[in-house]
A and B are shown apart, each in its own frame.
Chain A
Amino acid sequence: MTSTIIMPQLGETVTDGKILAWFKSVGDEIKEGDNLFEVETDKVTMEVQAIVAGRLSEIRVGAGVTAKVGEVVGVVGDGATATAPRGEASATRVRQWRSPLEEVSTPTDRFGPAKGPNGIHLTPLARRLIAQGGLDLAGLTMEAQQRGERRMDGAAVRAAISARPATPTAPLPAPPSPLPVPKGNVISLNAVRLRTGERLTENWRTIPHVFQAIEVDFTAVNRVRRSRKADFQATHGFSLTFLPFIARATCLAISACPQINARFDGKVLTLSRDVNLGIAVDLNHSGLVVPVVRGAGELTAIGLAKAIRRQTEKAKAGKLSADDLAEGTYSISNNGAFGTTFTAPIINAPQVGILSTDAIRLKAAVVSTPEGDFVAPRMIGIVGQSFDHRAFDGAYSAAFLSRIKLILETRNWDEEFPSDL
């Protein structure tokens, strides 16, 4: 009885995934729920579990290779072909051929790159053995290079197999570490960074970004924030920042300016009923993700605070699912912690705008009173928006920003919090 292991559907717009590592080798017994391999999409990296038990009889797509969603990447069960020297699995051989238009049956397996990361060439047999044996391509080719060899063949891989334990017994390996930094100042980007970079480039290239900013007086917000801070910390276990207020103001402003909360395909602007707010999270300088708070429009400042916190923690722990990253309609880039004045962020297509907030600090500001205009210390921060100029123009964007400013400066923020009674 055989069953196939397929590349699962990992997210609504995901079409393929790259297998980073196999945790099992050909020949291993697998139980339901065992982690089989780690896969990376353009949004997320995750493990794929076995849904049936049995013996892993074939690996058809090896580590480092991308497979389309639905493609067979391995086989569980006893479907292996008979001629396997020294206990290794042979390549899948397609024996059925009926059509003169297919007189020779090209195999469909893909077993990994023809060269190691250091440029060492691998024979096809070596590639297959490495993939099917779940071996560490980078490590093996490094060792080959250190031995002064220019390539690795099947014999070398077999030697490496017999020198090591037959199956990897270690628990989940760490995510792939960045490549070793050679002498000099060359830094290779890790995989998540690379994928993020590709996306950012595409967005930058296709969307005509215009940036507008408005100065907001956060003094009123800050008064409420400080008064509620201790309680909030005690109740929820984390600190109350400006971000939930800004997020709340954003959602409220979107009601007045619905075109901000839309998806754009280059021709048609599709307004979204719900506000699914993406919050950009910096992963310790190792890349950027934008987890989404769904239905943000229905949440109070507290609700937003909690939801944002949850998503941020998940992001930092590397535990975001594809759903966490899907269906965002608007995003906020919060750079307050960096102390910057303003930031012009890159829009997350197919969204049409992204808000930026930066440091909020005491500054000298002019305050108008009936008695006259005075200079006073106020909490001032710049709220900006990069918007897609194809979707709407500066007047609309400005109106949105003005609305946010108005809400932040004049809303009764106390009402966002439960009364003390």
Chain B
Amino acid sequence: MAELTYRDAVTRGIAQEMERDTRVVFLGEDVAKAGGVFKTTVGLYERFGPLRVRDTPISEQAILGAAMGAAMTGLRPIAEIMFADFLAVCFDYVANQMSKLRYMSNGQLSCPLVIRTGNGGGVRFGAQHSQSIENWTMMIPGIKVVAPSSPVDVIGLMAAAVRDPDPVIFHEHKALYATKGEVPDGAIVDTIGTAKILRPGRDCTIIALALMVPRALKAAEALANEHGIDAEVVDLRSLVPLDTQTILNSVAKTGRLFTVEENPRLCGWGAEIASIVADEAFWDLDGPIVRITTPHIPLPAADHLEDLALPSAARIADKVQRVLNG
């Protein structure tokens, strides 16, 4: 057992897979010699060499295109898109290419690659470098999307993503890079498409993702101590495939659902879950489904403003108790 930072867990996860399978290669901007702008890939270049860990020009389309061509012809590439916002620059490869390839070719071609990217805000980078765009990727049929909240999940889900024969988008959270968590020794391999109940409860279900997970847990504590509300907190971990059964079972137990989403409100991932629950679990609902989200605005750079925008533990607890007690 060791305590590891989220960023070191990224390194360890990639290394674990590169060690295991020589087909795993890694490319991105400033990832090799510099060890990544967020220091998430320090030491990989030294360990695996310039053939397997490669710096690219600032060419997001080339990065994803090359990862795709390599994956199609036998490798297991990991591509870094430095800031998740930049996925917009090369979104053709996500939306039109890698996600459609298998289907259009009738199964002749496949694309076993991982795109890892720094998602989310709270680090004062301003509107073009702070967005939570996991919902953009959830919408495209044909890919898989994960967003771990803890170091152990980073490693386990990275391993699962690399081993997955489908294209996986791995949303790391920039504001979590410095956070720490316990990580067991040895190889860690998790399962994509599984959510985890981090805090069982009876009175309501709170579903959260990435940075919102520790905030939801903190809110649950406040809810218990100050309002006598016993909240069940679910770390969704995977947007596609979606672990609907865990969600539905939780709502069957508690009858109340809240989602905590860092993405801006419209078409956030919580809207899809709210729809599924309102449909399949209608007869378990004891009150309206409530989504707690960042408002539908660009993100400001100023710290006090950004902190207001992103759901905080206090805002989460306040909303939940007002809805349940009102």
Contact = CB atoms under 8 A, between A and B. Distances in A.
Interface string A118-148: 0000011111100000000000000000000
Contacts of B287: 123, 153
A167 B86 CA distance: 62
Contacts of B284: 90-91, 124-125, 128
A329 to B, nearest CB: 46
Interface in A80-107: 83, 85, 90-91, 93-94, 104-107
Interface string A2-20: 0000000000000000000
Contacts of B280: 93-94, 104-107
A107 B285 CA distance: 13
Contact of A111 (B252, B283, B286): B283
Contacts of B282: 91, 107, 124
Given A104-B279, A105-B280, A106-B279, A123 B252 contact: no
B160 interface: no
Given A83-B249, A83-B252, A83-B253, A127 B283 contact: yes
B274 to A, nearest CB: 12
B266 interface: no
Interface residues of B, number: 16
A126 B282 CA distance: 11
A311 to B, nearest CB: 43
A34 interface: no
B90 interface: no
Contacts of B248: 93
B281 interface: yes
A416 interface: no
Nearest to B285: A124
Contacts of A107: 280, 282-283
A109 interface: yes
Given A93-B248, A104-B276, A85 B283 contact: no
Given A104-B276, A154-B255, A124 B249 contact: no
A155 interface: yes
Q: Is the interface of B mostly helix, strand, loop or mixed?
A: helix
Interface in B262-289: 275-276, 279-287
B234 to A, nearest CB: 15
A109 B283 CA distance: 8
Interface string A233-253: 000000000000000000000
Nearest to A125: B286
Contacts of A125: 255, 283-286
B273 to A, nearest CB: 11
A153 B283 contact: no
B89 to A, nearest CB: 31
Contacts of B285: 123-125
Nearest to A109: B283
Contacts of B275: 104
Interface string B145-169: 0000000000000000000000000
A125 B257 CA distance: 13
A89 to B, nearest CB: 10
A126 B285 CA distance: 9
A126 B283 CA distance: 8
A85 B284 CA distance: 11
B283 A91 contact: yes
A85 B203 CA distance: 13
A370 to B, nearest CB: 85
Contacts of A154: 255, 286
A91 B281 contact: yes
B277 to A, nearest CB: 10
Interface in B22-49: none
Nearest to A81: B252
A132 to B, nearest CB: 10
Given A91-B281, A106-B280, A153 B249 contact: no
Contacts of B252: 83, 85, 90-91, 93
B283 A124 contact: yes
Contacts of B249: 83
B286 A153 contact: yes
Contacts of A94: 280
A387 B261 CA distance: 70
Nearest to A91: B283
A251 to B, nearest CB: 55
Contacts of A126: 286
B279 A128 contact: no
Contacts of B281: 91, 93
Max count, chain A CB within 10 A of own CB: residue among B248, B276, B284, B287: B284
Nearest to A154: B286
A106 B278 CA distance: 9
Nearest to B272: A104
Contacts of B286: 123-126, 153-155
B99 to A, nearest CB: 16
Interface in B284-309: 284-287
Nearest to A94: B280
Contacts of A127: 283
Max count, chain B CB within 10 A of own CB: residue among A105, A109, A124, A127: A124
A155 B281 CA distance: 17
A155 to B, nearest CB: 7
A53 B105 CA distance: 56
Nearest to B278: A124
A105 B275 CA distance: 12
B181 to A, nearest CB: 30
A128 B253 contact: no
B255 A128 contact: no
A105 B248 CA distance: 12
Interface string A155-178: 100000000000000000000000
17 contacts: A83-B249, A85-B253, A91-B282, A93-B280, A93-B281, A94-B280, A104-B275, A104-B279, A105-B280, A106-B279, A109-B283, A123-B286, A124-B283, A124-B286, A125-B284, A125-B285, A128-B283
Interface of B: 248-249, 252-253, 255, 275-276, 279-287
Pick the 7 closest A-B CB pairs, nearest first.
Answer: A91-B283, A125-B286, A154-B286, A128-B283, A123-B286, A124-B285, A153-B286
Interface of A: 83, 85, 90-91, 93-94, 104-107, 109, 111, 123-128, 153-155
Given A105-B280, A124-B283, A155-B286, 18 more contacts: A83-B249, A83-B253, A90-B284, A91-B252, A91-B282, A91-B284, A93-B281, A104-B275, A104-B279, A107-B282, A111-B283, A123-B287, A124-B284, A124-B286, A125-B255, A125-B286, A154-B255, A154-B286
